[in-house]
Amino acid sequence: MDQSLPTSGTYVCHGITWASGDPRLLLAPLPGGPLVPSGITGRRLGYQVSGTGRWCTGRYCFADLVRVEAVACPDRAPAEAGGQCAACTSRDDFRFAHQFHAGGHVPAALGAYMAQPHWLYLATFADGTTKVGTAADPRKRSRLDEQGALLATYLTQSPDGRTVRFLEDALTRRLGLTQTVRAAAKLAAMAQLRDLARPRAAHQQHLDHAVKALNDMNIPTVPEPWTPPAEGNLLRTPQTGRALYPHDPREGEHGLTALSCAGSQILASLDGDELPYLLDLGVLKGRRITLGTQFSSPPAAVQSTLF
């Protein structure tokens, strides 16, 4: 069900989620209440950042044996290490997932979640950087949608989360593939997107090498291309003019309309300005923002290098 952006109120921003199949700004209302997933594509977002602090973005809980869902911090407490408060960290069983395959504490719910099939994938970004990653079967689609990649391919399905993490580490060792790409690097690469030839060639080369490496390990592969969400088509088109948003989204007030979205990056228009601007709404995670139609971005005189 579609959920429009609220036009008032103060919230702790949890960033962008693709859990419902489209990009939504996930908001925790103050002083309390459940998370509000709000559609952003084609909508105007007017907001003002409250202060400079970071606030707890809650935790993940297991909705059943195969699904996790976000839960807001009940106290809307200041953030500590990892973007959570101490109370939410202590109750977040999913935090053990990243070291699951290396042994250690495994809560029962996490064990059941990791026992389901998982996917191994490659994702390539606008500058040709390729990462290897994993996704639980219920997250097969949304995990890649939230990456902000240009191209991606599912390599193989593993019987469980432990097996797939060993395969991920093996490809990192054998091929030098990274498992993380910084959000700032993704944004800079998308800002400089000139054509698709370079990322396509890089993705195919990494795909060929990964398939060979897996076959050498007697792992069957059936490469399956990921289909990028339509909401990001304009952003992934090199001919679309763009300039980096010249203001810090984490301070002051802003007013923009999202034209396209890839991962947490958006291409947006400003009031009275025809030039589309590129920014990452992911930087708002943990910030308190007040929504309102009265908020607007400061004027910006920027020339796009892509026109």
- Please check whether residue 131 lies inside any domain of the structure: yes
Name the least confident of 85-99, 125-139, 144-158: 85-99
- Listed in sequence order, the DSSP H helices in 151-258 are 161-175, 183-191, 197-216
Reduced to 3 states (helix: H, G, I; strand: E, B; else coil), residue 11 is strand
Q: What is the pLDDT of residue 101?
A: 57
Rounded to 10 deg, the angle between the 197-216 and 161-175 helix axes is 110
Let me know: does 271 contact 296? Beta carbons within 8 Å: yes
Which among 96, 263, 98, 94 is positioned nearest to 169, based on CA atoms?
A: 98
What letter represents residue 18's amino acid?
Answer: W
236 token code pair: 């992934």
Question: Measured between alpha carbons, how far is 141 from 150 in angstroms, rounded to an integer?
Answer: 14
Q: What is the pLDDT of residue 307?
A: 37
Q: How many domains, the chain?
A: 1
pLDDT band at residue 258 using 50, 70 and 90 as cut-offs: very high
Residue with tokens 């490659």: 122
- Please check whether residue 295 lies inside any domain of the structure: no
**Mean pLDDT score of the chain, rounded to an integer?**
91
Residue with tokens 């007030």: 253
pLDDT at 92 over 90: no
Range of the domain at 123: 116-229
Q: CA 92: distance to chain centroid? A: 20
- Please check whether residue 24 lies inside any domain of the structure: no
Let me know: does 289 contact 10? Beta carbons within 8 Å: yes
Which among 129, 169, 155 is positioned nearest to 207, based on CA atoms?
A: 155
Let me know: does 70 contact 82? Beta carbons within 8 Å: no
Q: What percent of the chain has pLDDT above 90? A: 79
- Please check whether residue 98 lies inside any domain of the structure: no
Q: What percent of the chain has pLDDT above 70? A: 93
Q: CA 276: distance to chain centroid? A: 21
What letter represents residue 143's amino acid?
Answer: R
144 token code pair: 């890649």
CA distances 181 to 128, 178, 185, 255, Å, are 11, 7, 7, 28
- Please check whether residue 104 lies inside any domain of the structure: no
- Please check whether residue 137 lies inside any domain of the structure: yes
Reduced to 3 states (helix: H, G, I; strand: E, B; else coil), residue 128 is coil
- Please check whether residue 36 lies inside any domain of the structure: no
Name the least confident of 44-48, 97-101, 212-216: 97-101
Sequence-separated (6 or more) residues with CB below 8 Å from residue 190: 125, 126, 148, 235, 262, 265, 278
Considering only residues 102 and 170, tell me which one the structure prediction assigns the higher pLDDT.
Answer: 170
Entry pTM: 0.91
DSSP-assigned letter for residue 52: S
Q: What is the pLDDT of residue 294?
A: 96
pLDDT band at residue 306 using 50, 70 and 90 as cut-offs: very low
Mean pLDDT of 236-242: 91
Q: Could you tell me which residues are beta bridge partners of residue 48?
A: 253, 290
Reduced to 3 states (helix: H, G, I; strand: E, B; else coil), residue 96 is helix
Considering only residues 159 and 66, tell me which one the structure prediction assigns the higher pLDDT.
Answer: 159
- Please check whether residue 220 lies inside any domain of the structure: yes
